[in-house]
């Protein structure tokens, strides 16, 4: 008898799991974490074998898309053994897609191995093509290393999508140069509104906030934007630029609530399952995972968690400040 699929209280089938395999990163992006982050003790992290078991149970319950995130997932020691393990679900047909979001710093090292595991496309976070600005926003990053990693991904046959966080006063002046570069390199491009995740110290997100409706309006001064019906299982809404035939995505958690079609949940590197990026409610899956070698208790815990998935998030910016701010950092939940 096959397992019943995971259905939340609003009749949404949960088929997409985002898994943070580490909270660590080799960058310190200014909108994501403080420069001197305190990371989780390594002993608190799930082992790669435990992550395999958890993901395999979600796949048995109907999840067919798995995105590996972090922190920076490729800095986790031995991470390729996890990708190799997940590849068996691609081979069986139970998993439709295995992918990851990365800052690109380790792609020269791992791109070919990722492709060999069945990864077909990746998301690379890239907020500036100006080396000096890139170093400023990432604090520890080098643009040439990331661009070289993207080239390695292309050489390995991976389709690259660029994710750019829209930051007022930082990359507004690169809107067209980023778009044109992605066009030349045959990369899809998605713009993301900055989200209120974690205590950022000196960084003021209200000052960083560049509404994508304004970005889109600016884009339309040079291009004809054609709305697309594409739904990829993620929160982006897409347009095609008529002049270049490029696809551009917009992720707008603040100016447009995308929750009605949400089919995803997020698993942290410590085994916490967040049913919504913009809510603090979570379920501890590490305890049932470690309580028994039998999966019945774990699957019961997963189903119980999904039964509490909320209808939507509470992210909001106002003139006074940020509403719905999450205390946890994005690097912990998974980007």
The CATH number assigned to the domain holding 124 equals 3.20.20.70
Which tokens in the block code for residue 252?
């707008």
Q: Binding site residues for S-adenosyl-L-methionine, as ranges?
A: 31, 71, 125, 195
Spatial separation of the C-alpha atoms in residues 98 and 17, rounded to whole Å: 10
pLDDT at 214: 95
Q: Binding site residues for GTP, as ranges?
A: 18, 67, 101, 161, 264-266
Residue 3 lies in a domain: no
pLDDT at 42: 83
pLDDT at 32: 82
pLDDT at 335: 52
Residue 248 lies in a domain: yes
pLDDT at 66: 98
Domain containing 165: what range?
Answer: 16-333
pLDDT at 1: 45
| Count of the separate structural domains present in the chain | 1
Residue 21 lies in a domain: yes
Residue 216 lies in a domain: yes
Q: Binding site residues, as ranges?
A: 18, 25, 29, 31-32, 67, 71, 101, 125, 161, 195, 259, 262, 264-266, 276
Residue 243 lies in a domain: yes
Q: Using alpha carbons, list the distances in angstroms from residue 272 to 283, 294, 310.
A: 6, 19, 16
Q: Binding site residues for [4Fe-4S] cluster, as ranges?
A: 25, 29, 32, 259, 262, 276
Residue 307 lies in a domain: yes
Residue 1 lies in a domain: no
**Residue 29 contacts residue 77 (beta carbons within 8 Å):** no
Residues of the chain with pLDDT under 70: 1-2, 196-206, 231-234, 254-258, 277-280, 313-335
Residue 227 lies in a domain: yes
**Residue 88 contacts residue 53 (beta carbons within 8 Å):** no
């Amino acid at each position: 008898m096959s397992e019943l699929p995971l259905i939340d209280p609003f009749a949404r089938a949960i088929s997409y799991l985002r898994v943070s395999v580490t909270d660590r990163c080799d960058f310190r992006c200014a909108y994501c974490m403080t420069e001197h982050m305190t990371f989780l003790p390594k002993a608190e992290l799930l082992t790669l074998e435990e992550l395999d078991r958890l993901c395999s149970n979600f796949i048995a319950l109907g999840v067919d898309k798995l995105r590996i995130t972090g922190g920076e997932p490729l800095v986790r020691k031995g991470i390729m053994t996890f990708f190799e393990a997940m590849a068996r679900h691609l081979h069986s047909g139970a998993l439709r897609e295995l992918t990851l979001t990365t800052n690109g710093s380790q792609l020269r090292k791992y791109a070919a191995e990722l492709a060999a595991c069945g990864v077909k496309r990746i998301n690379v976070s890239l907020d500036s093509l100006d080396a000096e600005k890139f170093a400023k926003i990432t604090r520890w990053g080098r643009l040439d290393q990331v661009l070289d990693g993207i080239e390695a991904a292309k050489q390995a046959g991976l389709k690259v999508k660029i994710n750019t966080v829209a930051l007022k006063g930082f990359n507004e002046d690169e809107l067209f140069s980023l778009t044109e570069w992605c066009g030349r390199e045959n990369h899809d491009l998605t713009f993301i509104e900055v989200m209120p995740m974690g205590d950022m110290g000196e960084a003021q997100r209200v000052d960083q906030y560049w509404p994508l409706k304004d970005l889109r309006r600016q884009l339309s001064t040079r291009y004809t934007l054609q709305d697309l019906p594409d739904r990829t299982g993620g929160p982006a809404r897409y347009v095609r630029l008529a002049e270049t035939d490029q696809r551009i995505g917009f992720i707008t958690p603040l100016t447009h609530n995308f929750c009605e079609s949400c089919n995803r949940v997020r698993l942290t590197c410590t085994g916490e399952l967040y049913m919504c990026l913009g809510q603090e409610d979570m379920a501890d899956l590490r305890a049932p995972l470690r309580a028994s070698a039998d999966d019945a208790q774990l699957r019961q815990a997963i189903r119980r968690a999904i039964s509490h998935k909320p209808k939507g998030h509470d992210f909001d910016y106002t003139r006074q400040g940020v509403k719905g701010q999450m205390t946890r950092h994005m690097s912990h939940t998974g980007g």
